[in-house]
Structure 1
Amino acid sequence: MPTYMDIHNLPGGVSAEDVANAHYKDLAVQGKYGVSYLKYWINEKAGKVFCLCEAPDAETAERVHREAHGLVAEKVILVDPEVAELFLGEGGVNAAGAVVLPGGSAEDRDPGIRTILFTDIVGSTVMTQRMGDEAAMKLLELHDSIVRGALKDLGGREVKHLGDGIMASFLSAASAVKCAALVQREIAKHGKANADHPIRLRVGIAAGEPVERHNDLFGVTVQLAARLCGHAAAEQILVSNVVAELCAGKILSFQDLGEVTLKGFERPVRAHAVNWTSDSLPA
């Protein structure tokens, strides 16, 4: 059966108790329509709830909400459950059906915000032409090993391998930035020891919610992270303004680059460069 995720936007804020009651009402009605509401993510402060369900179609899923409590979703998108797990994690739930943070208590509810990171080897095609397929492949494997090691150390999840880069998801924006800095440092170490075969890497990072304007899971956030990565220079890490704000007070150093123009975005986007060589940046 297809899997769907929706977003409920309640600007006045929302309480965990009210959402739990609404979820219980969904469970009482869903069997009538062949729907199964699985779990939900709640951001009480922002007044947003994201529900994950299995249903014959989006309209039937909404019919359950409408009959159960009248809180119809603002948007419903079709999702691949395996991809959703890569972005969001398996997500344990509390007794009320709310996803909770890993290692947290039943009250530590997961708001659903994720930070997306892209890496890209600069000039990979030219590198292959200059060095040959075998040597270039060894450098790609080194990149993959360094990135995956950093993901493991800092709680990131690999979402997709992109040929000459990796897309990953993080629960914490600060962890994503630290991961990128660690990767750049390890790549730089390799470059110093192998001046004839350096890897030049760029990284883009953005944060956002699972259901936004696009019909793809984390669509806007993924697009922004990818565009920031493409805009970055070699050896640079660019992050969105949201990421920089989420990292406030985390002893991370950024340079505000002001607004930049990115393909696919109608308005200029404010970007920040990570000072990843700074002595104050945590390892």
Structure 2
Amino acid sequence: MPLFLDLHHLPEGITAAHVAEMHQADLDIEHKYNCRGLTYWCDEVRKTAFCLVEAPNKQALIDLHENAHGAIPTRIIEVNDTIVESFLGRIEDPEKSKNVKLNIINDPAFRALMVVKLKTKTLRTKDFHLLKAAVRGYTTSIKVLTAKYNGRIAKQEANTFIVSFDSVTNAVHCAMQILDTHHNVITPDLEFKIGISAGVPVTNKDSIFEDTINAANYLSDIIKGDFSISSVVKDLYEGENQNKPITKASIHVLNTKEEDFMSLLMDYIERVWTQPTIKVIDFEENLGYSKSKLYRTMMHLVGKSPNVFLKDYRLEKALLLLEKQHNNISEIAYRTGFTSPAYFSKCFQKKYGILPSNFTINT
């Protein structure tokens, strides 16, 4: 049976105890709608609640809530139990205290998500096997440090990790130690890029934590420097640490305007990066920036001009395709927006130190 996670916006005055009563009301009549309420999360501060329910379809879930207590969810998404547990830590109600009628759960479902990327800087032919060994070593250390700081690896794909934390402080300190570990070992062909954002599991998107994952992914992917965080993460960190500011110079804290530009830029890039005809003027027109303002903003935030950023973005996508070895070099060149295989090979060699043909031979 499908599994759904829904979002409720709570009116003023509604507490975790009220939400516990609503959850119990669901459980009392769920059999009438062929549903099974697994658990819920309640955030009194942000005035949100989330219910995890097995149901035949979304309408059955709506009917259950409407007839149990009248609170219709604002949004419902279909989820996977493994993913929910990875991000939120559980898929069932915690054990109820003895001699307590209601199981009042004070867990807000608000999570800090850290994206860690091991990015390839160069691909010197003689170092392929050493590079792979280094990646395996760093993968182990990331998993160890994640556990040390009470994080959960929600997803691992290639050399990218998405880690969920209940505490922003733990997320930030874990990231710092990952970077310290990397800097203490000389691996010139690799770099760590880390981004941390925070948010709720259900928004207007179709997937769990989609907005937060996207933000953390962009922070780890395109923002200059090794470690970037959102303004929300900064504020929450200071709130958890008695207003002690983040003073580490290596942490790049984006303000809200910079975050808006980042989202705007990536929304556009992800739509057009495969098109070989895209030029700087297209950036200007679609982002609503003048040529000079766009250049200044890109250099300040990303550290690259629009042209260089687009080319590097395509090359990183091409490297992923080469690693999968699903296409030949000509196909990859055209799929990633390059005008010819020869130009693609030239750009690839300039960025990574070898021709793409040598990479496919040695991997």
- The match for 2:182 among 187, 191, 199 is 187
Deviation of the 1:128 alpha carbon: 3.8
What's 1:246 paired with?
236
Aligned letter for 1:114? R
Flag the structure with larger Rg.
2
TM-score between both structures, scaled by the size of structure 1 = 0.82
In the alignment, the residues of structure 2 paired with residue 129 and residue 216 of structure 1 have an alpha-carbon distance, to the nearest angstrom, of 39
TM-score between both structures, scaled by the size of structure 2 = 0.65
SS of equivalent to 1:53: strand
SS of equivalent to 1:190: coil
- Deviation track 1:226-275 (CA, whole Å, cap 9, x = no partner) reads 011112335x21011111111005353255444322213999xxxx9xxx
What's 1:89 paired with?
89
Corresponding position: 1:264 with 2:261: no
Contact 2:203 2:209 in 1 (8 A): yes
Deviation of the 1:90 alpha carbon: 2.3
Deviation of the 1:108 alpha carbon: 6.5
In the alignment, the residues of structure 2 paired with residue 4 and residue 57 of structure 1 have an alpha-carbon distance, to the nearest angstrom, of 8
What's 1:232 paired with?
223
What's 1:214 paired with?
205
In the alignment, the residues of structure 1 paired with residue 104 and residue 4 of structure 2 have an alpha-carbon distance, to the nearest angstrom, of 25
In the alignment, the residues of structure 1 paired with residue 154 and residue 31 of structure 2 have an alpha-carbon distance, to the nearest angstrom, of 33
In the alignment, the residues of structure 1 paired with residue 131 and residue 166 of structure 2 have an alpha-carbon distance, to the nearest angstrom, of 32
In the alignment, the residues of structure 1 paired with residue 267 and residue 165 of structure 2 have an alpha-carbon distance, to the nearest angstrom, of 24
Aligned letter for 2:159? D
Contact 1:213 1:219 in 2 (8 A): no
Contact 2:168 2:236 in 1 (8 A): yes
- Deviation track 1:34-86 (CA, whole Å, cap 9, x = no partner) reads 10011100001221110001000111011100111110000000000011111
Contact 1:11 1:46 in 2 (8 A): no
- Deviation track 1:91-128 (CA, whole Å, cap 9, x = no partner) reads 652539xxxxxxxxx76611101111111123x2x534
Contact 2:122 2:190 in 1 (8 A): no
Q: Which stretch of structure 1 is more off in the superposition, 111-120 or 6-15?
A: 6-15
* Residue correspondence of structure 1 range 134-145 to structure 2 within 5 A: 134-145=129-140
In the alignment, the residues of structure 1 paired with residue 41 and residue 126 of structure 2 have an alpha-carbon distance, to the nearest angstrom, of 48
Query: Which of the two has greater helix per residue?
Result: 2
* Residue correspondence of structure 1 range 60-75 to structure 2 within 5 A: 60-75=60-75
Corresponding position: 1:171 with 2:166: yes
What's 1:102 paired with?
none
* Residue correspondence of structure 1 range 111-130 to structure 2 within 5 A: 111-122=108-119, 124=120, 127-130=122-125
Query: Which of the two has greater strand per residue?
Result: 1
> Which segments of 5 or more consecutive residues in structure 2 lack a partner in the other structure?
98-102, 269-286, 289-300, 302-363
In the alignment, the residues of structure 1 paired with residue 126 and residue 58 of structure 2 have an alpha-carbon distance, to the nearest angstrom, of 51
Aligned letter for 1:141? R
CA RMSD of aligned residues (A): 2.5
Q: Which has the higher contact order (CA 8 A, sep 6+)?
A: 1
Question: How has the CA–CA distance of structure 1 residues 132 and 27 changed in structure 2, closer, same or farther, with 3 Å as cutoff?
Answer: same
SS of equivalent to 1:211: coil
Aligned letter for 2:236? L
Structure 1 runs of 4+ aligned residues shifted over 3 Å read 126-133, 254-259
